[in-house]
Amino acid sequence: MRTENSDTFQNISQKRVTSIMSCNTCENFNCLIKRNLNDLEDYRLISEKNNLHCKKGQQFVMEGAPVNGLFFILKGAVKVFSTGINGREQIVRFAKEGEIIGHRGFGTEEYYSIGAIALEDTKLCYFSKNNLQEALLNNSKFAYDFMLFYANELNKSESKVKSISQMTVRERVIDTILYLNRKFGNINGFLNLTLSRKEYADYAGTAEEQVIRVFSALKKEKLITAKGKKIGITNIQLLKNEISEHNFYLDS
DNA sequence: TCATTAATCGCAC
DNA sequence: GTGCGATTAATGA
Protein backbone atom coordinates (compact mmCIF):
# COMPACT_ATOMS: atom_id res chain seq x y z
CA MET A 1 0.00 0.00 0.00
CA ARG A 2 2.75 2.38 0.94
CA THR A 3 4.60 2.05 -2.34
CA GLU A 4 1.38 2.64 -4.21
CA ASN A 5 1.00 5.96 -2.46
CA SER A 6 4.29 7.33 -3.53
CA ASP A 7 3.63 6.13 -7.05
CA THR A 8 0.42 8.08 -7.09
CA PHE A 9 2.08 11.29 -6.13
CA GLN A 10 4.96 10.74 -8.46
CA ASN A 11 2.52 10.36 -11.28
CA ILE A 12 0.87 13.59 -10.33
CA SER A 13 4.06 15.55 -10.62
CA GLN A 14 5.12 13.78 -13.77
CA LYS A 15 1.92 14.45 -15.56
CA ARG A 16 1.58 18.08 -14.66
CA VAL A 17 3.37 19.36 -17.73
CA THR A 18 1.90 17.02 -20.26
CA SER A 19 -1.73 17.96 -20.64
CA ILE A 20 -2.95 21.29 -19.37
CA MET A 21 -6.54 21.90 -20.16
CA SER A 22 -7.18 25.62 -20.21
CA CYS A 23 -10.01 26.99 -18.10
CA ASN A 24 -10.89 29.28 -20.98
CA THR A 25 -11.89 26.49 -23.29
CA CYS A 26 -13.38 24.33 -20.56
CA GLU A 27 -17.05 23.50 -21.03
CA ASN A 28 -17.73 22.55 -17.49
CA PHE A 29 -20.01 25.25 -16.13
CA ASN A 30 -20.71 23.27 -13.01
CA CYS A 31 -17.24 24.23 -11.92
CA LEU A 32 -17.01 27.04 -9.41
CA ILE A 33 -13.88 28.34 -11.04
CA LYS A 34 -15.29 28.26 -14.54
CA ARG A 35 -18.34 30.18 -13.39
CA ASN A 36 -16.14 32.90 -11.93
CA LEU A 37 -13.53 32.83 -14.63
CA ASN A 38 -14.11 36.39 -15.79
CA ASP A 39 -12.96 37.70 -12.44
CA LEU A 40 -10.17 35.22 -11.98
CA GLU A 41 -8.34 35.19 -15.26
CA ASP A 42 -5.38 37.19 -14.06
CA TYR A 43 -4.66 35.14 -10.98
CA ARG A 44 -1.97 32.53 -10.73
CA LEU A 45 -4.77 30.19 -9.77
CA ILE A 46 -5.62 29.87 -13.44
CA SER A 47 -2.17 29.99 -14.97
CA GLU A 48 -0.67 27.54 -12.52
CA LYS A 49 -3.34 24.92 -12.39
CA ASN A 50 -2.50 21.32 -13.11
CA ASN A 51 -4.36 18.53 -14.76
CA LEU A 52 -4.11 14.88 -13.99
CA HIS A 53 -5.67 11.77 -15.25
CA CYS A 54 -6.74 8.93 -12.99
CA LYS A 55 -7.49 5.46 -14.20
CA LYS A 56 -10.45 3.61 -12.80
CA GLY A 57 -9.71 2.44 -9.29
CA GLN A 58 -6.80 4.79 -8.75
CA GLN A 59 -6.60 6.61 -5.47
CA PHE A 60 -5.60 10.25 -5.77
CA VAL A 61 -6.25 11.47 -2.25
CA MET A 62 -4.74 9.50 0.61
CA GLU A 63 -6.09 9.67 4.11
CA GLY A 64 -3.52 11.40 6.26
CA ALA A 65 -1.58 12.97 3.41
CA PRO A 66 -0.78 16.67 3.77
CA VAL A 67 -3.17 19.08 2.09
CA ASN A 68 -1.55 21.19 -0.59
CA GLY A 69 -4.50 22.04 -2.74
CA LEU A 70 -7.91 21.11 -3.99
CA PHE A 71 -9.09 18.81 -6.74
CA PHE A 72 -11.90 19.67 -9.12
CA ILE A 73 -13.38 16.93 -11.24
CA LEU A 74 -13.23 17.80 -14.91
CA LYS A 75 -14.69 14.54 -16.07
CA GLY A 76 -15.55 11.24 -14.44
CA ALA A 77 -16.79 10.07 -11.07
CA VAL A 78 -15.13 9.43 -7.74
CA LYS A 79 -15.97 8.13 -4.30
CA VAL A 80 -14.90 9.95 -1.18
CA PHE A 81 -14.49 7.83 1.90
CA SER A 82 -12.94 7.58 5.29
CA THR A 83 -11.71 4.39 6.83
CA GLY A 84 -13.06 3.32 10.19
CA ILE A 85 -12.34 0.48 12.57
CA ASN A 86 -11.27 -2.83 11.01
CA GLY A 87 -10.56 -1.01 7.80
CA ARG A 88 -14.25 -0.58 7.20
CA GLU A 89 -14.87 1.99 4.57
CA GLN A 90 -17.52 4.64 4.96
CA ILE A 91 -18.26 6.32 1.68
CA VAL A 92 -19.02 9.90 2.53
CA ARG A 93 -20.23 10.93 -0.86
CA PHE A 94 -19.92 10.38 -4.56
CA ALA A 95 -18.78 13.19 -6.80
CA LYS A 96 -19.02 13.96 -10.48
CA GLU A 97 -17.98 16.66 -12.94
CA GLY A 98 -17.53 20.10 -11.48
CA GLU A 99 -17.39 18.95 -7.89
CA ILE A 100 -14.64 19.60 -5.43
CA ILE A 101 -12.57 17.01 -3.59
CA GLY A 102 -10.53 17.74 -0.53
CA HIS A 103 -12.24 20.96 0.45
CA ARG A 104 -12.64 19.80 4.01
CA GLY A 105 -8.89 19.95 4.43
CA PHE A 106 -8.72 23.45 3.09
CA GLY A 107 -7.95 26.18 5.59
CA THR A 108 -6.76 25.10 8.99
CA GLU A 109 -6.54 21.35 8.44
CA GLU A 110 -3.12 20.09 7.57
CA TYR A 111 -3.94 16.54 6.55
CA TYR A 112 -6.72 14.96 4.58
CA SER A 113 -9.27 13.20 6.72
CA ILE A 114 -10.64 11.44 3.68
CA GLY A 115 -9.44 9.42 0.75
CA ALA A 116 -10.72 9.57 -2.80
CA ILE A 117 -10.70 6.91 -5.51
CA ALA A 118 -11.72 7.26 -9.15
CA LEU A 119 -14.72 5.09 -10.02
CA GLU A 120 -14.10 5.48 -13.72
CA ASP A 121 -11.36 7.09 -15.78
CA THR A 122 -11.33 10.60 -14.38
CA LYS A 123 -9.75 13.90 -15.31
CA LEU A 124 -8.93 16.22 -12.46
CA CYS A 125 -7.90 19.83 -12.17
CA TYR A 126 -5.62 20.60 -9.31
CA PHE A 127 -5.26 24.02 -7.73
CA SER A 128 -2.72 24.81 -5.08
CA LYS A 129 -3.85 26.01 -1.71
CA ASN A 130 -1.83 29.22 -1.91
CA ASN A 131 -3.20 30.22 -5.27
CA LEU A 132 -6.72 29.54 -4.14
CA GLN A 133 -6.17 31.60 -1.05
CA GLU A 134 -4.93 34.50 -3.09
CA ALA A 135 -7.95 34.37 -5.37
CA LEU A 136 -10.41 34.01 -2.51
CA LEU A 137 -8.94 36.91 -0.56
CA ASN A 138 -9.11 39.21 -3.53
CA ASN A 139 -12.45 38.31 -4.97
CA SER A 140 -15.52 38.42 -2.80
CA LYS A 141 -17.89 37.02 -5.40
CA PHE A 142 -15.69 33.98 -5.75
CA ALA A 143 -15.35 33.67 -2.00
CA TYR A 144 -19.11 33.94 -1.60
CA ASP A 145 -19.70 31.17 -4.11
CA PHE A 146 -17.26 29.08 -2.19
CA MET A 147 -19.09 29.78 1.01
CA LEU A 148 -22.37 28.72 -0.54
CA PHE A 149 -20.74 25.54 -1.62
CA TYR A 150 -19.50 24.82 1.89
CA ALA A 151 -22.88 25.58 3.42
CA ASN A 152 -24.48 23.23 0.99
CA GLU A 153 -22.01 20.47 1.72
CA LEU A 154 -22.64 20.82 5.42
CA ASN A 155 -26.34 20.55 4.85
CA LYS A 156 -25.93 17.36 2.89
CA SER A 157 -23.65 15.77 5.38
CA GLU A 158 -26.06 16.55 8.20
CA SER A 159 -28.92 14.85 6.45
CA LYS A 160 -26.68 11.90 5.78
CA VAL A 161 -26.02 11.53 9.47
CA LYS A 162 -29.73 11.44 10.08
CA SER A 163 -30.36 8.91 7.38
CA ILE A 164 -27.79 6.52 8.75
CA SER A 165 -28.97 6.80 12.31
CA GLN A 166 -32.71 6.74 11.74
CA MET A 167 -33.45 4.70 8.66
CA THR A 168 -33.66 0.95 8.45
CA VAL A 169 -31.20 -0.91 6.26
CA ARG A 170 -33.80 -1.32 3.56
CA GLU A 171 -34.56 2.38 3.62
CA ARG A 172 -30.91 3.31 3.50
CA VAL A 173 -30.34 1.12 0.48
CA ILE A 174 -33.34 2.66 -1.25
CA ASP A 175 -32.09 6.10 -0.31
CA THR A 176 -28.72 5.26 -1.83
CA ILE A 177 -30.29 4.14 -5.09
CA LEU A 178 -32.37 7.31 -5.30
CA TYR A 179 -29.39 9.47 -4.46
CA LEU A 180 -27.34 7.93 -7.24
CA ASN A 181 -30.22 8.31 -9.64
CA ARG A 182 -30.57 11.99 -8.78
CA LYS A 183 -26.91 12.62 -9.06
CA PHE A 184 -25.80 10.51 -12.00
CA GLY A 185 -29.09 9.91 -13.78
CA ASN A 186 -29.82 6.79 -15.77
CA ILE A 187 -29.24 5.45 -19.25
CA ASN A 188 -31.61 2.90 -20.78
CA GLY A 189 -33.21 2.57 -17.39
CA PHE A 190 -29.99 1.70 -15.59
CA LEU A 191 -28.11 3.93 -13.18
CA ASN A 192 -25.38 5.77 -14.98
CA LEU A 193 -22.76 4.66 -12.49
CA THR A 194 -21.55 1.14 -11.89
CA LEU A 195 -20.82 0.22 -8.30
CA SER A 196 -20.09 -3.02 -6.54
CA ARG A 197 -22.53 -4.24 -3.87
CA LYS A 198 -19.80 -3.48 -1.38
CA GLU A 199 -19.75 0.15 -2.46
CA TYR A 200 -23.51 0.42 -2.07
CA ALA A 201 -23.04 -1.01 1.39
CA ASP A 202 -20.22 1.35 2.26
CA TYR A 203 -22.36 4.30 1.35
CA ALA A 204 -25.53 3.03 3.01
CA GLY A 205 -23.61 2.18 6.17
CA THR A 206 -24.33 -1.53 6.10
CA ALA A 207 -22.79 -4.80 4.97
CA GLU A 208 -22.51 -6.16 1.48
CA GLU A 209 -24.80 -9.09 2.31
CA GLN A 210 -27.53 -6.76 3.43
CA VAL A 211 -27.39 -4.86 0.19
CA ILE A 212 -27.69 -8.12 -1.71
CA ARG A 213 -30.67 -9.14 0.38
CA VAL A 214 -32.43 -5.83 -0.07
CA PHE A 215 -31.69 -5.85 -3.78
CA SER A 216 -33.18 -9.29 -4.25
CA ALA A 217 -36.24 -8.30 -2.23
CA LEU A 218 -36.68 -5.18 -4.33
CA LYS A 219 -36.26 -7.24 -7.47
CA LYS A 220 -39.00 -9.62 -6.35
CA GLU A 221 -41.24 -6.65 -5.70
CA LYS A 222 -40.48 -5.35 -9.18
CA LEU A 223 -39.18 -2.05 -7.85
CA ILE A 224 -35.75 -2.41 -9.37
CA THR A 225 -33.97 -4.58 -11.92
CA ALA A 226 -30.39 -5.77 -11.79
CA LYS A 227 -28.18 -7.05 -14.56
CA GLY A 228 -24.84 -7.84 -13.06
CA LYS A 229 -23.55 -4.60 -11.64
CA LYS A 230 -26.12 -2.50 -13.43
CA ILE A 231 -29.03 -1.44 -11.31
CA GLY A 232 -32.22 -0.12 -12.86
CA ILE A 233 -35.15 1.58 -11.20
CA THR A 234 -38.50 0.33 -12.39
CA ASN A 235 -40.79 2.12 -9.99
CA ILE A 236 -39.26 5.26 -8.64
CA GLN A 237 -42.47 6.49 -7.05
CA LEU A 238 -42.89 3.45 -4.84
CA LEU A 239 -39.27 3.72 -3.79
CA LYS A 240 -39.69 7.36 -2.93
CA ASN A 241 -42.84 6.58 -0.99
CA GLU A 242 -40.96 4.16 1.22
CA ILE A 243 -38.61 6.79 2.49
CA SER A 244 -40.89 9.78 2.11
CA GLU A 245 -41.56 10.03 5.83
CA HIS A 246 -37.90 10.74 6.33
CA ASN A 247 -37.96 13.43 3.68
CA PHE A 248 -34.37 12.75 2.87
CA TYR A 249 -34.73 12.39 -0.83
CA LEU A 250 -35.68 16.05 -1.08
CA ASP A 251 -32.15 17.22 -0.48
CA SER A 252 -28.57 15.89 -0.74
C1' DT B 1 -10.74 -22.52 -21.39
C1' DC B 2 -9.05 -21.70 -16.77
C1' DA B 3 -8.40 -18.65 -12.93
C1' DT B 4 -9.89 -14.76 -10.36
C1' DT B 5 -13.20 -11.89 -8.51
C1' DA B 6 -17.88 -10.67 -7.36
C1' DA B 7 -22.53 -11.88 -6.13
C1' DT B 8 -25.62 -14.92 -3.63
C1' DC B 9 -27.43 -17.78 -0.30
C1' DG B 10 -27.82 -20.37 4.07
C1' DC B 11 -27.02 -20.63 8.67
C1' DA B 12 -25.45 -19.58 13.40
C1' DC B 13 -25.24 -16.08 16.61
C1' DG C 1 -29.01 -7.33 11.77
C1' DT C 2 -24.27 -9.24 11.37
C1' DG C 3 -20.61 -12.22 9.88
C1' DC C 4 -18.74 -16.43 8.05
C1' DG C 5 -18.29 -19.95 4.64
C1' DA C 6 -19.89 -22.50 0.65
C1' DT C 7 -21.76 -22.12 -3.88
C1' DT C 8 -22.58 -19.99 -8.22
C1' DA C 9 -22.20 -16.41 -11.67
C1' DA C 10 -19.43 -13.13 -14.13
C1' DT C 11 -15.26 -11.39 -15.82
C1' DG C 12 -10.85 -11.27 -17.74
C1' DA C 13 -6.32 -13.28 -19.44
Segments in chain A below pLDDT 70: 1-19, 247-252
For C9, which residue's CA is nearest its C1'?
A228
Residue A13's pLDDT is 43
Q: How far apart are CA A79 and CA A158, in angstroms?
A: 18
Residue A191 CA, nucleotide B11 C1', distance (Å) = 33
Whether the beta carbon of A129 falls within 7 A of nucleic chain C: the reply is no
pTM for the model stands at 0.87
User: What would the pLDDT profile of A83-115 be if each residue is shown by its tens digit?
Assistant: 987 778 899 999 999 999 988 878 777 899 999
Residue A35 CA, nucleotide B5 C1', distance (Å) = 43
Residue A215's pLDDT is 95
Whether the beta carbon of A169 falls within 7 A of nucleic chain C: the reply is yes
Amino acid in position A251: D
- Nucleotide closest to residue A169 (CA–C1'): C1
Q: How far apart are CA A156 and CA A150, in angstroms?
A: 10
- Nucleotide closest to residue A213 (CA–C1'): B8
Residue A19's pLDDT is 57
Residue A35's pLDDT is 94
Residue A207 CA, nucleotide C1 C1', distance (Å) = 10
Residue A210's pLDDT is 95
Whether the beta carbon of A229 falls within 7 A of nucleic chain C: the reply is yes
CA distances from residue A46 to A21, A41, A101, A131 in whole angstroms, order as listed: 10, 6, 18, 9
- Nucleotide closest to residue A228 (CA–C1'): C10
- Nucleotide closest to residue A214 (CA–C1'): B8
Helix (H) or strand (E) holding A70: strand A69-75
Tell me the HSE value of A208 on the side-chain side, using a 13 A CA sphere.
Answer: 7
- Positions of chain B reached by protein Cβ under 7 A: 6-10
Query: How many other CB atoms sit within 10 Å of the CB of residue A188?
Result: 7
Residue A188's pLDDT is 84
- Positions of chain C reached by protein Cβ under 7 A: 1-5, 10-11
In our burial notation (b when 16+ CB lie closer than 10 A, e otherwise), range A206-228 reads: beeebbbebbeebeeeebbeeee
